[in-house]
Amino acid sequence: MRTVVITLLLSLLTYCSEAPQSTPAPSASNTDDNSAGAQPVSPIPAIPAISNAASAWDLGFMAAVANPYATDAAAEMLAQGGHAVDAAIAAHAVLGLVEPESSGLGGGGFMVVFEQDNKRVRFYDGREAAPAGAAADMFMQDGEVMGFLNAWQSGKAVGVPGAVALYKLAHDNYGKLPWASLFEPAIELASEGFVATEKMAGLLPRIAQVSRLDENPGAAEYFFPDGEAIQPGALVRNPEYAATLQRIVDEGPEAFYTGEIAEAIVAATQAEPDGGSLTMEDMASYEAIEREAICGPWRDLTVCSATPPSSGAMQIMVANMYDTLVPENPTEFERVKAFVDAQRLAYADRDYYFGDPDRVDVPLELLLDPAYLQSRGANPIAPGESPTHGDPASVLGGETAAVFSPDSTQEPAGTTHFSIVDDAGNAVSITMTVESAFGSSRWAAGFLLNNELTDFAREYNPDTPEAANQVRPGARPRSSMSPSILLDSDNELYMVTGSPGGNSIPAYTAKTIIGIVDWGMSVQEAVDFPNIIARGDTVRVEIGREPGQALAGQLREAGYNVQESEGENSGLHVILVHEDELEGAADPRREGTVLTTAPM
């Protein structure tokens, strides 16, 4: 049953990524040349020189967001003089309405912010948290791991949502526009209606085959009115969502974490079958957290991202190990092979060592030490062998890091990412999620609840060491989300990037960094290039985009276990800073757009 369910989920996500783009027309300022998708990529050119960012900001603003309605909302805030954070909150409030399969108020996420005035990068953690009643064995039944379908759709999978608390923490630090104004576009759309896209509506009949979305109270009535799935192009209203947002506007986040909205969340989570332990006390005690952003050198750039429980540090790991692995004067295939080998090493270390840093000691400083990364890259895993984690102590000396059990957490791709730069040069890279497509399918107060706790290691054996990513009360599950910001040698903004895509997110995101900086691609070319994901024993290659088929054949000949994929579920949104302009791109595999102003 588990294999069948996972296969169905993967087919659903592929369908979602390949769906025709039937979306409302964006405003006149849409940079269609950048967001429409480039022609198939030719062989990788020689490595170019890196452009330096402008030292004085006069480049206007840009928003690359996952849905035209949300891009418009972000641009509206930026045009009013709002901070990039204001635009991000407005965009996500809209995304929770028009893209509920990917994220929403019932989920959480990570936000990385670049401050133009002091050249500082900060990280805000709005990841969902396990309730106090969570236990290491809560996904075990009669000594066996609970089937993924049952775990995914259960109340046990629902963590305390972090999105609203993340909004408030970020707005308190950066907001230039009034709190209420950030929610006006979403409230208007929810009240007056939005046009359902092919991505959301087209997924409904298939998701109903493997979930309870068409059965659960609230969700069934909303997504399947009169027993029939919402059709692409239909006008959809969600007055319940509008009312929830208005409560958040009038009363602040307390309206979400206490009172009627919280009661609805708790009731939906505790409902049978397989109800969870979430309580009103869990809701009221939740806090978004500011953590130190992780920044590391790569060539003459600084790569910054989110620390654990995020996997953002993998961007530093992959880039630096790639440089050790790639030969001088490489061919296109040698570059791709180095990228594959760097991923295999980085994923193995991530899977073993990463967890909630408040619950487990993540040896991040050791894993990012240049000497360790160089040594790790100099000793790649043979193509036919299973990747194994490294031991920084064997390279750097000192005590061996804690011993953990292996972890192969599944992480389906119900996530969204967007990148924003405001007209003062501040930037936001933000990835938000409800975990699987349509989250847990459980509905409360106009939105879906997450199934984020399936991101923990679900298998538990009391006779073996704990997994770093084990279920623990109050813990935040490890995430592949990797919102990233790159700075140039003058500490100026250079790139904003990130993607949805479950366990594939680090690979998708790293492709844009290496593709732009090392492979000489434009932003759109890097986004369009075939996705290649090398985690565990398999190297998955997107053959539906050139030169994916040829690369799959070359990797197979080199001894790798290659899995061919017709489509991938990336949703990359990237902004690159040139000396005289911003260059942005949206992933044609989804329905995002790019909006900008002309330089001042």
- Strands of the sheet containing 301-305, edge to edge, are 294-298, 301-305, 484-487, 493-497, 573-577, 582-586
Nearest partner of 432 among 483, 387, 397, 470, judged by Cα: 483
Question: Residue 59 and residue 259: Cα distance in Å, rounded?
Answer: 45
Helices (H), 397-504: none
Nearest partner of 592 among 85, 71, 96, 32, judged by Cα: 71
Structural tokens at position 313:
């540090």
Whether omega for the bond prior to residue 473 falls within 30 degrees of 0, making it cis, is: no
Catalytic residue among 415, 454, 497, 593: 415
Burial 446-456 (b: 16+ CB within 10 A, else e): bbbbbbbbbbb
Bridge partners for 405 per DSSP: none
Quick check: 202 and 19 in contact, CB under 8 A? yes
pLDDT at 17 over 50: no
Helix, strand, coil share of the chain (percent; to 5): 35, 15, 45
pLDDT confidence of residue 410:
55
pLDDT confidence of residue 305:
98
Whether omega for the bond prior to residue 273 falls within 30 degrees of 0, making it cis, is: yes
Whether omega for the bond prior to residue 309 falls within 30 degrees of 0, making it cis, is: yes
Using pLDDT thresholds of 50, 70 and 90, give the confidence band for residue 403.
Answer: low
- Mean pLDDT value across residues 499-517: 97
SS3 readout for 271-290: CCCCCCCCCHHHHHHCCCEE
Question: Residue 351 and residue 290: Cα distance in Å, rounded?
Answer: 24
SS3 559: coil
Average pLDDT of the chain is 90
Bridge partners for 542 per DSSP: 565
Q: Is the dihedral of CA 166, 170, 172, 176 positive or negative?
A: negative
- Mean pLDDT value across residues 222-240: 97
Longest dimension (CA), the chain: 66
Contacts of 557 (CB under 8 A, 6+ apart): none
Start-end ranges of CATH 1.10.246.130 in the chain? 313-396
Structural tokens at position 145:
């791991």
CATH of 2-290+409-596, one of 1.10.10.10, 2.170.120.12, 3.60.20.40, 3.40.225.10: 3.60.20.40
Half-sphere exposure of 151 (CA within 13 A, CB side): 28
- Mean pLDDT value across residues 172-195: 98
pLDDT confidence of residue 405:
58
Out of 279-288, 457-466, 521-530, 556-565, least confident range: 457-466
- Mean pLDDT value across residues 342-357: 96
Structural tokens at position 49:
């020189």
Question: Residue 534 and residue 195: Cα distance in Å, rounded?
Answer: 37
Instruction: Give the tens place of pLDDT for each residue, 351-369.
Output: 999 999 999 999 999 999 9
Nearest partner of 100 among 442, 572, 428, judged by Cα: 442
Using a CB cutoff of 8 Å and minimum separation of 24, what contacts does 179-185 make? 179/249, 179/252, 180/249, 181/77, 181/80, 182/77, 182/86, 182/89, 182/90, 182/93, 183/90, 183/93, 183/245, 183/246, 183/248, 183/249, 184/90, 185/69, 185/72, 185/73, 185/76, 185/90, 185/93, 185/94
SS3 201: helix
User: Distance between alpha carbon 212 and the CA centroid of its chain, in Å?
Assistant: 24
Question: Residue 458 and residue 472: Cα distance in Å, rounded?
Answer: 11
Quick check: 210 and 9 in contact, CB under 8 A? yes
Start-end ranges of CATH 3.60.20.40 in the chain? 2-290+409-596
Question: Residue 303 and residue 317: Cα distance in Å, rounded?
Answer: 10
pLDDT confidence of residue 191:
98
Instruction: Give the tens place of pLDDT for each residue, 271-317.
Output: 999 999 999 999 999 999 999 999 999 999 999 999 999 999 999 99
pLDDT confidence of residue 222:
98
CB atoms closer than 10 angstroms to residue 281? 11
Q: What percent of the chain has pLDDT over 70?
A: 88
Structural tokens at position 592:
């995002």
Instruction: Give the tens place of pLDDT for each residue, 41-96.
Output: 333 333 333 344 444 789 999 999 999 999 999 999 999 999 999 999 999 999 99
Structural tokens at position 426:
């501040």
SS3 444: strand
pLDDT confidence of residue 569:
86
Instruction: Give the tens place of pLDDT for each residue, 551-587.
Output: 999 999 999 999 999 877 899 999 999 999 999 999 9
Bridge partners for 585 per DSSP: 574
Quick check: 73 and 90 in contact, CB under 8 A? yes
Question: Residue 251 and residue 289: Cα distance in Å, rounded?
Answer: 21
Q: Is the dihedral of CA 221, 225, 229, 230 positive or negative?
A: negative
pLDDT confidence of residue 568:
79
Is 7 one of the annotated active-site residues of the chain? no
Question: Residue 50 and residue 299: Cα distance in Å, rounded?
Answer: 10
Bridge partners for 540 per DSSP: 533, 563
Fold of 313-396: Serum Albumin; Chain A, Domain 1 (1.10.246)
Structural tokens at position 212:
């309870």
Predicted model pTM:
0.90
